[in-house]
Amino acid sequence: MLGRSAWGIFWMARYLERAENTARLLDAGFRMALTRGNTVASDEWRSVLVTLGMDEFYTGDMSGPAITNWLLRGAGNSGSVLSMMEAARTNARMVRTAITREVWEVTNESWMQLQSLLAKPVKEADLGHVLDVIRRQATSVRGAMEGTMLRNDIFNFARIGTHLERADNTARILDVKYHVLLPSAAWVGSRLDNAQWEMVLRSVAGERAFRWLHAGALDPKGIAQFLILDGRFPRSLAYCLRKLTSNMEWLCRDYHQETAAYRMQKEACDKLSKTTITDIFEHGLHEFITEFLATNRLVADAIAADYRFTE
């Protein structure tokens, strides 16, 4: 496969996953803001910007409607949902002969539907519906990929893009909980602390799975273990790393070459599998997440170099 085609598939999947993650974070921020006063709620909305790494680019007021509309459809915001869905569609069109008709059609339909929904500022009363549509359309594209695409290098590049982006998002959410959301250490274990942990779980669609596995108790250490080490949950770091490794191993077999990116990824996966939540907390959760994000970036760069994405 040409490097440019591999790049197109890889980034199409990343943009779709990133758009869905943004919608999930906005939904969590919206639900939290509903339970707080306007002044305090601005902290919740700021945390959404910080988690997405976009706080330094935002210059508007800290109200929910302003931030929500900037993240959904902000003019000149290349990280908005609308911009990312457009980028996903552009990449899908570029590699149209490599994907199935079903994948192209649902990607194109998703873009057209969101373009219509986001043509005007989204009112608070309509926000839930718009976020539902974004999540549903991203899920539809993934479903079309799963149900119609041959398990070849094209499919594996798409899955690698999805899991790299998903792991990055889960790690950022965990990090912002510890360093932005809580006013001080004195709040640990408080109602605010528990409510914020619930928001973390909700933003990754993990609240029901966690409560089912842990009999409903919101334990910060248990939640961190669930999101980092529980390989059964599809948005945990352990699950994403395992899938990344298997997809990259498949590419190595297909191209008869073990790449530097695969070796780096396998080492990271093996290291995480031997790590306990006690090890992580003793080392420091923020330090662990910082190192994880750095490794994730290095793996993405190595993939681009190994498969000549720029050619």
pLDDT value for 214: 86
> What's the mean per-residue pLDDT of the chain?
90
Residue 186 is predicted with a pLDDT of 62
Tokens for 56? 């330094």
Q: What per-residue confidence (pLDDT) applies to 175?
A: 85
In this predicted structure, what is the pLDDT of residue 180? 63
Mean pLDDT of 74-92: 95
Residue 11 confidence (pLDDT): 96
What is the per-residue pLDDT across 228-278, written as a single tens digit (0 to 9) for each? 999 999 999 999 999 999 999 999 999 999 999 999 999 999 999 999 999
What average pLDDT does range 156-175 have in this prediction?
94
pLDDT at 75 (0 to 100): 87
Cβ proximity of 70 and 25 under 8 Å: no
Of 219 and 206, the one with more pLDDT: 206
Query: Quick one: pLDDT at residue 39?
Result: 59
Tell me the C-alpha distance between 233 and 246, whole Å.
17
214 by Cβ neighbours in 10 Å (0-12 / 13-18 / 19+) ranks as middle
